[in-house]
Amino acid sequence: MSSAAHSSHKTSPELLLQLAGITKKFGPLIANDAIDLKVHKGEIVALLGENGAGKTTLMNILFGHYVADEGTVTVTNRDGNLEQLEPGAPQAALDAGIGMVHQHFTLAENLSGLDNIVLGTEPIFRLRRDRTAARAKLADLMSGSGLNVDLDQPVHKLTVGEKQRVEILKALYRDARLLVLDEPTAVLTPQEADSLFVILRQLAATGLSVIIIAHKLAEVLAVSHRIAVLRGGKKVGEMQTSDADHRSIAELMVGREVPVSRRTERVPGAPVLRLSDVTIDRGDARRSLHGVNLTACEGEILGIAGVSGNGQAALAQLLAGLDKPDSGIVEIFEAIVTKFDAHKFAQNGIARIPEDRHHDGMVGSMSVAENIAIEDVRSKDYQKFGFLDFAAIRKRAEQAIKDYDVRCPGPGAPARLLSGGNIQKLILARVLEKSPKLILANQPSRGLDVGAQSEVHRRLLEARQNGAAVILISEDLDELLTISDQIVVIHAGHVSKAIPTDAIDRSELGLMMAGQTKTYTQQAQTSNTIRQGETP
Amino acid sequence: MEIIDILLAASFWEAAIRIATPLIFGVLGALVCERAGVLNLGIEGIFTAGAMAGWMAVWLGAGLWGGVLVAALAGGFFGLIHAILTVPLGLSQHVSGIGVTLLATSLSYFTYRTALPDVSSPPRIIPFQPLDIPILSDLPFIGQALFSQTAMTMLALVLVFVTGWVLYRTPLGLAIRAVGDNPSSVEAQGLSVYGLRIGAVVVGSAMMALGGAFLTMSAFDAFFFGMINGRGWVCIALTVFASWRPGKALIGALLFGAFDAFQVRLQTEVGAFFPSQVFLMMPYILSIIALIVVARKADYPKALLVPWFKGQR
């Protein structure tokens, strides 16, 4: 597809946007260092870089959320003249035809899609609203671009993909000439992502310019015309997508070679976790499970694939001991669990890596050392005469910081000062140090850069090698296919049969995540029978 | 039997609507603030300030509508203090609100005492008189219950309609609801989060102050210490009961007014059979029940109590 699309793209000389010498400092941190970037009409530019490379900062400057310390943003205005954009004024960016779709959507959930789109486009002091013209224009936009969505629904009733469409329509409704998408595929299924790319290509063909911020290579290679790579706040490379090669860009982004973790063959042992017909009904699809059967064995990584909000939260809560099933049986270490208690679960060797590491994984105002010891404060090792033994806590923290390479000012530093990757290392240090038998890893590498991601994978594979069962909940297919031994798909609270990773077809998996097929049932059943034979 | 008689009397409904009037002003004001995402616990003090300022303006010769204007300005002033503390500075809305209540109440008492150092009974003004609308006021039942109220009650009823219209039928109302739901959505569309929130709190506070002014300029004819007597807090509870909707706010206020009027009559009819506190509790109990029900619904302002800062997401 990509070659055909490339040929259809005419190398249009008309310049639309020019960023020149943009520099932005946050205290001692240089988020953007003299960055230049040009975007032409009808061009899709991918802005690639690790977390913290400065992509989002740059786009926030473009959109007027931040003011650059140095440098200028110039836009060719609708009359064809170059015009410098007023810094720090989102309204100026909107007027110039720049529309931004943030990674975290800026939609008012209680309002309808239509309300969200027309918000701020009408004169504010008027006695009535007239929506006829708006509806007509949106109907045109939708039929022209394929961005179909029910605009009269309150936004909280829409799926993530639909919300994103509302965001894009919001920009197009304001006659955007440049659309900036921040990590647009992070929340989409592979199918949704593909259809988004088709839509973007169509829009580009009609003259819309697009900047896609991304850290996943494969995607931008498929959709973009040109790639710019940022690292450490500097632009380190720029090329036509047709000339780009996967490996060299990856190294350009990271600045060094990235070790790739691969799992090795291993025969799974006795079952560690078994769910039989477990149902949790909370009336809300995100928090419910329906008749779930699941087995995880020693020395294997069981991947739970699914689009977020399909019951993963319920499963994670259950396995962390924070919720109990309405019906069904949970067996852990071949004993039926009767008391669901988070503390007890942790004591019994269940390691939990929570989804929201900032919120659930640590206490920001407490020190790194305290955060590492927090699950074990009742243990005798960290007590002296009934009081906390800070020397022992500090000693363990120092060891953990060294072993897990947690970059921090010291064990006494407040944990909130750490970056996302280092917080994750801190959590790994806390839970893996105790050689757990069962590890619940919920989105363990989401939002991490490639380096930290490969570290998380290495640690999980190491735990698997040491005989732990790992439940890996993830939306990232690459991650699931790289390190899990078997994969189940979770959709609307239902969990499919386990499929050996080697027997999986990627697009089929995407369809299952979207709840569209049960092709694997047959095949999976066979594999399950074999497995049951192995582990009676 | 007495109960039925009480409920069927036009005088009962006249009293219910009269008692409800300050609450209608207050709950509409609270609703406007909260729709924009700001809880305004300054309401009790703003009621006091409105009652004091309106009454004193009339006493000094400003005329009744002049007094209403002064009361609204006083309310807007204290609303502005609360808005500046909670919106651009992002301080705790609870702390700031209670602070405003203490400040506005004390300042009102202080002003009163300074102006009138030696009076034992406060000077009286000539308050708003019951309307006498041709035909309408002569209708049976409804003429007495509704059309013989004072002009301020009519203003309150009109304000219910106006608030509802603005919130649901105008671009401004859409922006206010959006800023209380997700401020980033408003910023991304090029509108000012601070402007909308500050504006809503100032206007909402001015509406609250009218509730206080009604007490000194329509229900009574003078200002007394402690006369607000928790009406502001009732409005905060009624806002939740109303699930932030003007129409339901009117029903909630009328329900409270009816309970109060009923309680007074029941006591005079059958003696102190029920302790009056039982009836005073009812609106709160209703509000707690309503809270349990609406808290499960999605339609509350999602960004209520959440400060928002520019350039931070």
Q: How many whole angstroms separate alpha carbon B268 and alpha carbon B270?
A: 6
Rounded to the nearest angstrom, the minimum Cα separation between A110 and chain B is 6
Q: What is the mean pLDDT of chain B?
A: 89
Q: Which of A44, A37, A93 is nearest to A64 (CA)?
A: A93
pLDDT at A31: 86
Answer whether A378 touches B (CB < 8 Å).
no
Choosing among B174, B187, B300, which should be mutated to test the A contact, i.e. which has the most A CBs within 10 A? B174
For A2, phi then psi, to 5°, come to: -70, -35
Tokens of B84: 């500046």
Torsion of CA B209, B211, B212, B217, to 10 degrees: 120
Candidate from A66, A95, A111 with C-beta closest to B177: A111
pLDDT at A533: 38
Indicate the pTM of the whole model.
0.78
Tokens of A279: 């149902």
Answer whether A106 touches B (CB < 8 Å).
yes
Rounded to the nearest angstrom, the minimum Cα separation between B4 and chain A is 43
Residues near A248 by Cβ (< 8 Å), separated by ≥ 6? none
Rounded to the nearest angstrom, the minimum Cα separation between B199 and chain A is 13
Regions in chain A scoring below 70 on pLDDT = 1-13, 258-259, 261, 517-536
Mean pLDDT of B233-241: 89
Answer whether A65 touches B (CB < 8 Å).
yes
Answer whether A13 touches B (CB < 8 Å).
no
Considering only CB atoms, which chain B residues are within 8 Å of A104? 184, 313
Q: How many whole angstroms separate alpha carbon A307 and alpha carbon B265?
A: 61
Query: How far is the CA of B223 from the CAs of B48, B50, B116, B209, in angstroms?
Result: 9, 11, 11, 14
Answer whether A108 touches B (CB < 8 Å).
yes
Q: How many whole angstroms separate alpha carbon A211 and alpha carbon B52?
A: 59
Choosing among A94, A124, A153, A180, which should be mutated to test the B contact, i.e. which has the most B CBs within 10 A? A124
Q: How many whole angstroms separate alpha carbon A19 and alpha carbon A38?
A: 6
Q: Tell me the count of A-B CB pairs closer than 8 A.
A: 92
Partners of A228 in beta bridges: A47, A238
Give residue limits of the domains in chain B. Answer: 16-114+142-295
**Contact call for residues A48 and A253 (beta carbons, < 8 A):** yes
Partners of A301 in beta bridges: A470
Tokens of B46: 């703003």
Hey, are the CB atoms on A108 and B182 less than 8 Å from each other? yes
Rounded to the nearest angstrom, the minimum Cα separation between B248 and chain A is 18
- Decide if the complex's ipTM is over 0.90: no
DSSP string covering B117-178, please?
TT-SSPPP---PPPP--TTGGGSTTHHHHTTTS-HHHHHHHHHHHHHHHHHHHSHHHHHHHH
Pairing relation of β-strands A335-336 and A178-182?
Answer: unpaired
Rounded to the nearest angstrom, the minimum Cα separation between A60 and chain B is 9
| pLDDT tens figures, B133-143 | 888 888 888 88
Q: Which of A253, A289, A435 is nearest to A350 (CA)?
A: A435
Hey, are the CB atoms on A154 and B181 less than 8 Å from each other? no
CA dihedral over B17, B20, B26, B31, signed as positive or negative: negative
Rounded to the nearest angstrom, the minimum Cα separation between A115 and chain B is 7
Considering only CB atoms, which chain A residues are within 8 Å of B178? 108, 111, 115-116, 119
B187: closest chain A residue by CA: A90
The pLDDT confidence band at residue B312, using thresholds 50, 70 and 90, is low
Residue with tokens 């900036």: A180
**Contact call for residues A302 and A505 (beta carbons, < 8 A):** no
* Residue A299 DSSP symbol: T
Considering only CB atoms, which chain B residues are within 8 Å of A124? 171-172, 175, 191
Rounded to the nearest angstrom, the minimum Cα separation between A514 and chain B is 26
Residues near B1 by Cβ (< 8 Å), separated by ≥ 6? none
Q: How many whole angstroms separate alpha carbon B71 and alpha carbon B206?
A: 7
Q: How many whole angstroms separate alpha carbon A381 and alpha carbon A67?
A: 51
Answer whether A170 touches B (CB < 8 Å).
yes
Q: Which of A162, A65, A145 is nearest to A109 (CA)?
A: A162
H/E element, A455: helix A450-465
Answer whether A103 touches B (CB < 8 Å).
no
Answer whether A87 touches B (CB < 8 Å).
no
Angle CA B244–B250–B253, to nearest 5: 100
Considering only CB atoms, which chain B residues are within 8 Å of A118? 171, 174
Rounded to the nearest angstrom, the minimum Cα separation between B169 and chain A is 6
Hey, are the CB atoms on B170 and A120 less than 8 Å from each other? no
The pLDDT confidence band at residue B287, using thresholds 50, 70 and 90, is low
Q: How many whole angstroms separate alpha carbon A367 and alpha carbon A183?
A: 32
Task: Name which CATH class applies to A1-97+177-258.
Answer: alpha beta
**Contact call for residues B287 and B238 (beta carbons, < 8 A):** yes
Considering only CB atoms, which chain B residues are within 8 Å of A60? 311
Q: Which of A18, A22, A23 is nearest to A82 (CA)?
A: A18
pLDDT at A186: 74
* Chain-centroid distance, C-alpha B241: 14
Considering only CB atoms, which chain A residues are within 8 Å of B191? 119-120, 124
Candidate from B169, B182, B190 with C-beta closest to A107: B182
DSSP string covering A474-520, please?
ES-HHHHHHH-SEEEEEETTEEPPPEEGGG--HHHHHHHHTT---TH
A67: closest chain B residue by CA: B311
A501-522 as b/e: b if 16+ CB within 10 A: beebeeeebbbbbbbeeeebee
Candidate from B172, B177, B181 with C-beta closest to A124: B172
H/E element, A236: strand A234-240
Considering only CB atoms, which chain A residues are within 8 Å of B167? none
Answer whether A112 touches B (CB < 8 Å).
no
Candidate from A65, A102, A119 with C-beta closest to B186: A119
Q: Which of A318, A221, A346, A297 is nearest to A498 (CA)?
A: A297
Considering only CB atoms, which chain A residues are within 8 Å of B189? 94, 119-121, 170
Q: How many whole angstroms separate alpha carbon B288 and alpha carbon B240?
A: 9
Mean pLDDT of B8-29: 94
Specify the domain boundaries for CATH 3.40.50.300 within chain A.
Answer: 1-97+177-258, 271-349+434-531
- Is the predicted pLDDT of residue B274 greater than 70, yes or no? no
B190: closest chain A residue by CA: A91
Rounded to the nearest angstrom, the minimum Cα separation between B294 and chain A is 14
Tokens of A98: 């720049």
Q: Does the domain spanning B16-114+142-295 belong to CATH 3.40.1800? A: no
pLDDT at B25: 98
Q: Kindly give the residue spans of alpha helices, DSSP state H, lying in chain B.
A: 2-8, 10-35, 43-59, 64-86, 93-115, 142-145, 151-169, 171-181, 183-188, 193-214, 231-241, 246-270, 276-294
Rounded to the nearest angstrom, the minimum Cα separation between B84 and chain A is 22
Considering only CB atoms, which chain A residues are within 8 Å of B172? 124-126
Q: How many whole angstroms separate alpha carbon B75 and alpha carbon B229?
A: 18
CATH for A271-349+434-531, among 3.90.700.10, 3.40.50.720, 3.40.50.300, 3.40.50.2300?
Answer: 3.40.50.300
Mean pLDDT of B85-96: 96
Query: How far is the CA of A501 from the CAs of A296, A406, A467, A524, B233, in angstroms?
Result: 14, 32, 19, 11, 61
For A350, phi then psi, to 5°, come to: -105, 120
Choosing among B177, B185, B304, which should be mutated to test the A contact, i.e. which has the most A CBs within 10 A? B185
Pairing relation of β-strands A226-231 and A209-214?
Answer: unpaired
Candidate from B169, B171, B184 with C-beta closest to A124: B171
Residues near A80 by Cβ (< 8 Å), separated by ≥ 6? none
User: How large is the greatest C-alpha to C-alpha distance in chain B, in angstroms?
Assistant: 65
B163: closest chain A residue by CA: A127
Considering only CB atoms, which chain B residues are within 8 Å of A179? none
What is the Cβ-side half-sphere exposure of residue B175, based on CA atoms within 13 angstroms? 27
B303: closest chain A residue by CA: A108
Residues near A247 by Cβ (< 8 Å), separated by ≥ 6? none
**Contact call for residues A204 and A211 (beta carbons, < 8 A):** no
Pairing relation of β-strands A300-305 and A486-491?
Answer: parallel
Torsion of CA B279, B280, B282, B283, to 10 degrees: 140
Hey, are the CB atoms on A107 and B185 less than 8 Å from each other? yes
